């Protein structure tokens, strides 16, 4: 048998979708001594895994290389036939009408259906609306002729990965697990117990599905609240950061959320709309949730208005002014630009003919915008620096000292001295950790 750090292979685990959720999961099972069949339709990811070139910040090249003896990366669903368990980690995006797009999930389900074997456990990790596992995934799998409960088991266990975070990871973050039947739950709980210290079993897959949406909607609503407060504070010329610091001294009844340029990532800008769409089946309009989404989506526009005011106060137009965007990833210490508010700000400023550049040590190129990152030194030559993502290991004091105008949308430079610069951030808008 193959080994990883002296461990013998115990189970064979299939992982479909090798992004920010799937690849760390595949590595974790391999590190536990299980054989992993890692499947993705993107041949570039398969090639990168085979040469131990990790494209996920949370997984180092060295860690991937150590796990490789037990990882079989492939694009072929047929390779999943011998798996004891198959975990689906594909994207669940929105359509242009902001309705759930289950296309990737249906494709994965059909691929599993065609190779499904008696005794296999199938677990869905992709965030989705309540009822997806039972009413959408199971019927497709049963087209194989096999039957749930008699021949195979199905469960839902939402991902809780927070990219770039070091204090909580897959192992020590509690893992919610809900099976379609009690036996399904028990099997899934045993599976995740191999790589997670705190499995949390719930009564049904629907409970697990809704719990994940509640987590993200809770954040979305509170981020929208503090973003709206930031706009109000800006107009009142009150330092929103000082307001938040003061409110945070209360030892109960208040949870700190911080404003920012908007909401990004793979969860918060998308997941709440899965519930609002599903709620319409029950004649309910989720106005509160949708309003939060609207507020957060408008934050890049508010930030551009602030940029215009800053330049106007300095007697400069947006058109032709050298503006450097510092940080284009949606979150610090990651290269993930999905739904990044910085990209929306860049797009809005381009339409106003600004002379734009950006610096991000994690994102060398923005291919979709035909824009390459500049060196830190070049970016310091801008007329205005806009801090949209506060990456670590960036010399923010140098930005304050050398750029004539600085607009900090994260409140990160409050702890720095301003030198001879006029920083313009009494009340910048904000976002929080995951999805911000």
Q: Which of 89, 184, 196, 267 is catalytic?
A: 267
- From first to last of its 436 residues, what are the pLDDT tens digits of the chain? 344 444 455 899 999 999 999 999 999 999 999 999 999 999 999 999 999 999 998 899 999 999 999 999 999 999 999 999 999 999 998 888 888 999 999 999 999 999 999 999 999 999 999 999 999 999 999 999 999 999 999 999 999 977 777 889 999 999 999 999 999 999 999 999 999 999 999 999 999 999 999 999 999 999 999 999 999 999 999 999 999 999 999 999 999 999 999 888 777 778 888 899 899 899 998 998 989 989 999 999 999 999 999 999 999 999 999 999 999 999 998 898 988 999 999 999 999 999 999 999 999 988 777 788 999 999 999 999 999 999 998 999 999 999 999 999 999 998 887 654 444 444 443 333 344 4
CB atoms within 10 A of CB 422: 12
Q: Model's pTM, two decimal places? A: 0.87
Tell me the C-alpha distance between 160 and 138, whole Å: 23
Tell me the C-alpha distance between 294 and 170, whole Å: 31
Q: Which residues of the chain are in CATH 3.40.50.720 domains?
A: 3-203, 204-436
For domain 3-203, give the CATH number: 3.40.50.720
Contact 383, 292 (CB under 8 A): no
The predicted pLDDT at position 418 comes to 63
Which of 86, 69, 84, 78 minimizes the C-alpha distance to 1?
Answer: 69
Catalytic-residue membership of 267:
yes
Which of 343, 341, 326, 325 minimizes the C-alpha distance to 391?
Answer: 326
The predicted pLDDT at position 166 comes to 80
Q: Which CATH superfamily is domain 204-436 in?
A: NAD(P)-binding Rossmann-like Domain (3.40.50.720)
Tell me the C-alpha distance between 316 and 295, whole Å: 29
Q: Which residues are CB-contacts of 90 (< 8 A; sequence separation ≥ 6)?
A: 16, 17, 104, 105, 107, 108, 126
The predicted pLDDT at position 190 comes to 97
- In the chain, the largest separation of any two C-alpha atoms, in whole Å, equals 74
The predicted pLDDT at position 1 comes to 38
Tell me the C-alpha distance between 195 and 192, whole Å: 6
Q: Which residues are CB-contacts of 336 (< 8 A; sequence separation ≥ 6)?
A: 20, 163, 264, 265, 266, 329, 330
The predicted pLDDT at position 263 comes to 84
C-alpha torsion sign, points 319, 325, 329, 332? negative
The predicted pLDDT at position 123 comes to 98
């Amino acid at each position: 048998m193959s080994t990883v750090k002296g461990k013998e292979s115990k189970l064979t685990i299939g992982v479909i979708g090798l992004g920010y959720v799937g690849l760390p999961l595949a590595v974790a099972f391999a590190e536990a001594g299980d054989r992993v069949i890692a499947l993705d339709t993107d041949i570039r990811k398969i090639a990168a895994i085979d040469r131990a070139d990790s494209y996920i910040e949370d997984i180092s090249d060295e860690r991937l290389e150590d796990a490789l003896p037990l990882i079989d990366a492939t694009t072929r669903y047929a390779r999943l036939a011998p798996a004891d368990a198959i975990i689906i980690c594909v994207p669940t995006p929105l359509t242009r009408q902001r309705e759930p797009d289950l296309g990737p999930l249906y494709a994965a389900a059909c691929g599993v259906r065609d190779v499904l074997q008696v005794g296999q456990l199938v677990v869905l990790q992709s965030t989705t609306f309540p009822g997806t596992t039972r009413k959408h995934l199971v019927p497709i799998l049963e087209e194989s002729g096999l039957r749930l409960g008699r021949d195979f088991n199905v469960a839902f266990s939402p991902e809780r990965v927070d990219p770039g975070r070091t204090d909580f990871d897959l192992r020590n973050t509690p893992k919610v697990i809900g099976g379609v039947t009690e036996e399904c739950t028990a099997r899934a709980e045993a599976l995740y117990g191999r790589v997670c210290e705190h499995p949390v079993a719930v009564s049904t897959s629907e409970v697990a599905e809704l719990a994940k949406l509640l987590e993200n909607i809770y954040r979305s609503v509170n981020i929208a609240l503090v973003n709206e407060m930031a706009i109000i504070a800006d107009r009142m010329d009150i330092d929103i950061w000082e307001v938040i610091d003061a409110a945070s001294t209360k030892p109960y009844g208040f949870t700190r959320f911080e404003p920012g340029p908007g909401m990004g990532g793979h969860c918060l800008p998308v997941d709440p709309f899965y519930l609002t769409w599903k709620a319409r089946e029950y004649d309910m309009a989720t106005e509160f949730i949708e309003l939060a989404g609207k507020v957060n989506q408008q934050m890049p526009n508010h930030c551009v208005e602030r940029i215009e005011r800053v330049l106007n106060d300095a007697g400069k137009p947006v058109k032709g002014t050298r503006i450097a965007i510092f940080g284009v990833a949606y979150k610090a210490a990651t290269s993930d630009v999905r739904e990044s508010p910085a990209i929306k700000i860049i797009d809005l400023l381009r339409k106003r003919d600004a002379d734009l550049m950006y610096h991000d040590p994690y994102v060398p190129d923005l291919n979709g915008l035909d824009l390459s990152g500049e060196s830190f030194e070049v970016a310091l030559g801008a007329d205005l620096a806009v801090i949209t993502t506060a990456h670590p290991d960036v010399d923010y004091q140098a930005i304050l000292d050398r750029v004539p105008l600085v607009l900090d949308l994260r409140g990160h430079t409050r702890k720095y001295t301003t030198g001879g610069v006029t920083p313009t951030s009494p009340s910048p808008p904000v976002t929080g950790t995951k999805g911000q």
